[in-house]
Amino acid sequence: MDISPLQQARYAYKPKLPRMLRNGVGSVAVIEGDATEAASDKEKIKALFPNTYGMKEVYFEEGESTAPKKKHVVGVILSGGQAPGGHNVIAGLYDALKEDNEESVLLGFKGGPSGLVDDNYITLTGDTIDKYRNTGGFDMIGSGRTKLEKEEQFKVVAEVAQKHGMDAIVIIGGDDSNTNAAVLAEYFKENDVPVQVIGCPKTIDGDLKNDDIEISFGFDTATKVYSELIGNIERDANSAKKYWHFIKLMGRSASHIALECALQTHPNVCLISEEVEAKQMGLTAIADYIAESVMARASLGFNFGVVIVPEGLIEFVPEVRKLIEEINETLAKRGDRFSKLPTWDEKLGFLTAALSVESMKVFNILPYDIQEELLMDRDPHGNVQVSKVETEKLLSNIVRNRLNQKRQEGKYSGKYNPMHHFFGYEGRAAFPSNFDADYCYSLGYTAFLLISYGYTGYLSSVRGLAKGVDEWKAGGMPITKMMDIERRGGEDKPVIKKALVDINGKPYKYFAEHREHWARETCYCSSGAVQYFGPPEIADRTTLTLSLENS
């Protein structure tokens, strides 16, 4: 691969560690805090994780290390979708490992969890690591979405670990991947397999978030990339003055990405799925809300605008969510039979018999292409692949119908020309921002500290992120503390509790205070490209969400 000047410069960037870690692994002491409990469903989680439930919080501080000095052999995998900064987690882990003992070994298992099962790995060296420092993507060792959730898989992983003399595995992933990490750690403890399992919090979606994980890595970079693109479209809209741009943003269920991008760019409309659910807004109510902005701006001579739509919105619309839940349950139980039906009419007949009358009414008013998208192959959890449902087109069409009604009533005379965009993959493999480069390096470094002190079933944690790097605090949190029970594929499963947008939180309230003005006026704000060089207040700044939460 050819090397650009920017990439060459990023190779040379030295990630900043929290002050408490800068004197090296030999100068980091550990403090144990209180015993922990699950986020909810405490008794069920405790029953599922009897060997790793209730472990104590862990904090690191400056002081003499009491960790035993020895050669470590550690395996690492990247799991799930890409997020900017993954390579720096590996770099931080590698550097701490080698600093502690030059003879220690880091094995990179290729293609995600399947690499562990298939024993497909490379031995990571300094030369390899140096080629990927501060770069985006997961191409150092690749990633994958194989789930480690079956006993036969755990047995194979234990055999692979024993073969290589591994004493620890680091899983870099999102909520599902780290749920798998907790299950694997529990299996190892139950079966006296001397291998530790440590997780690192990754996802651009921002929904791996709680009191202990202030932000998942990649969110900062991805939202800056999307905000640059939105700002460009806003500038174009204000130049051409003839299009309404409907922009769907990646983010799975939660609306964290949409909210952060709205705070940065000030679009005319930004839908927040969690608000839609709280207010029980149906498709008609949502369309009316957007149409009000279109008409208000038209009255001022502005026949253009920007609407941000979160990827998971469709699941939060009450009548559509009920429909999706029924479809998921039906296909989880009888999907094979459904897929073999040769004609659309037969499939409709099958659904009519299986779904409630109310859900079929909703299904029948949806455009044919949306109906097809709701019946596509499920994701790995057995759910609708919401990223493939073209919600932005569905909404723009319903808005058109509402505007046509208003036109017939003599209440609207403007022009309405919608354009559609979906931003997702554009932000997943960008060069990590300075914040993500520093944060990820610290997460990797902290993961090694957890290994060195003998912990397992923990998530690497760095807190105080709204402050400067000097003040960041490193530690670890038992993964079981973050868990609850969720319905998936027709079954109850233990999962890390997803964090949705808090509509009582400061970021949402700031947005709510300003959106009425943004809806009518042209108040677009262009954040520009991600800045890697310059004053810290520009190059090292983090998200507005994190800043507002800590204000």
Same domain, yes or no: 443 and 378: no
Domain boundary among the residues 463, 488, 513 is at: 488
Q: How far is CA 270 from the centre of its chain?
A: 19
- Position 180 scores a pLDDT of 94
Q: Are residues 245 and 223 in the same domain?
A: yes
Q: Say what the pLDDT of residue 315 is.
A: 87
Q: What is the pLDDT of residue 457?
A: 98
Query: What CA–CA distance (Å, rounded) separates 539 from 188?
Result: 43
φ, ψ for residue 463 (rounded to 5)?
A: -120, 175
What average pLDDT does the segment 194-211 reach?
96
pLDDT digits (tens, 9 = 90+) for 65-87: 999 999 999 999 999 999 999 99
Q: Please report whether residue 133 resides in a domain.
A: yes
- Does a structural domain hold residue 83? yes
What whole-number distance in Å separates Cα of residue 243 and Cα of residue 256? 26
The pLDDT assigned to 395 comes to 94
The per-residue pLDDT for 370 is 81
Residue range 473-491, pLDDT digits in tens: 999 999 999 999 887 766 7
Same domain assignment for residues 311 and 333: yes
106 pLDDT higher than 70: yes
Residues 448, 316, single domain; the answer is no
Assign 333 a pLDDT band (cuts: 50, 70, 90).
confident
Considering only CA atoms, which of 194, 195, 141, 189 is closest in space to residue 169?
Answer: 195
One domain, residues 268 and 398: yes
Report the distance separating Cα 240 and Cα 243, nearest Å. 7
Return the residue matching tokens 């701006």: 297
Structural domain contains residue 396: yes
Output the pLDDT for position 386: 65
524 with 450, same domain: the answer is: no
Contact yes or no for 492/40 (Cβ under 8 A): no
Name the one residue in this structure whose structure tokens are 């998942």.
Answer: 216
210/236 same-domain check: no
Residues 6+ apart with CB under 8 A from 235: 524, 526
Whether the pLDDT of residue 383 is over 90: the answer is no
Residue 19 or residue 253, greater confidence: 19
Euclidean distance between CA atoms 76 and 177, whole angstroms: 13
Average pLDDT over residues 35-58: 95
Average pLDDT over residues 114-123: 97
Q: Is 379 an annotated catalytic residue? A: no
* One domain, residues 476 and 519: no
Tens of pLDDT, residue by residue over 250-273, are 998 899 999 999 999 999 999 999
CB atoms within 10 A of CB 9: 13
* Separation of alpha carbons 111 and 79, rounded Å: 8
Q: What is the pLDDT of residues 500-524, one digit of tens each?
A: 999 999 999 999 999 999 999 999 9
CA distance to 58, 269, 298, 341, 405, per residue, from 345 (Å): 58, 38, 42, 9, 32
Compute the average pLDDT of residues 2-6. 87
What count of other Cβ atoms lies within 10 Å of the Cβ of residue 300? 11
Which helix (H) or strand (E) covers residue 404, if one does?
Answer: helix 391-408
Residue 61 lies in a domain: no
Whether 257 and 360 share a structural domain: yes
**CATH at residue 450:** 3.40.50.450
Residue 457 and residue 189: Cα distance in Å, rounded? 9
For 295, other C-beta atoms within 10 Å of its C-beta total 18
Characterize the bridge pairing of strands 483-488 and 491-496: antiparallel
pLDDT single digits (tens) 305-330: 999 999 999 889 999 889 988 988 88
pLDDT of residue 475: 98
Residue 50 has pLDDT above 80, yes or no: yes
pLDDT at 376 (0 to 100): 76
Say whether pLDDT at 25 is over 70. Answer: yes
pLDDT averaged over every residue in the chain: 94
177 lies in the same domain as 161: yes
What's the confidence (pLDDT) of residue 399?
95
Q: Which domain holds residue 516?
A: 219-428+504-549
pLDDT confidence of residue 382: 60
The rounded distance, in Å, linking the Cα atoms of 13 and 9 is 7
Total domain count, the chain: 2
> Using one digit for the tens of pLDDT, what is the confidence trace for 421-447?
999 999 999 999 999 999 999 999 999
pLDDT > 70 in the chain, percent: 97
Q: Which CATH number do you get for residue 524?
A: 3.40.50.460
Q: Is a pLDDT exceeding 90 seen at residue 389?
A: no
> Mean pLDDT throughout 365-374?
82
Together in a domain, 115 and 173: yes
Q: For residue 447, which of 439, 438, 458, 435 has the smallest C-alpha distance?
A: 458
Q: What is the pLDDT of residue 387?
A: 67
Together in a domain, 365 and 467: no
Helices (H), 280-317: 283-299
For the chain, the residue count is 551
Q: Is residue 26 part of a domain?
A: no
Q: Could you tell me if residue 226 is inside a domain?
A: yes
Q: Which residue has the tokens 């609850």?
A: 484
Contacts of 295 (CB under 8 A, 6+ apart): 403, 406, 411, 412, 414
Distance between CA atoms of 475 and 445, rounded to whole angstroms?
10
Which of 363-372, 378-387, 392-401 reaches the highest mean pLDDT?
392-401
- Candidate list 100, 205, 438, 540, residue with the active-site label: 205
In-domain check, residue 76: yes
**Across 126-147, average pLDDT:** 96
5 occurs within a structural domain: no
* Residues 13, 16: Cα–Cα separation, whole Å: 9
With tokens 């609306």, the residue in question is 255
296-309: pLDDT as tens digits: 999 999 999 999 99
Joined together, the tokens standing for residue 456 give 């397992």
HEC assignment per residue over 376-399: CCCCCCCCCCHHHCCHHHHHHHHH
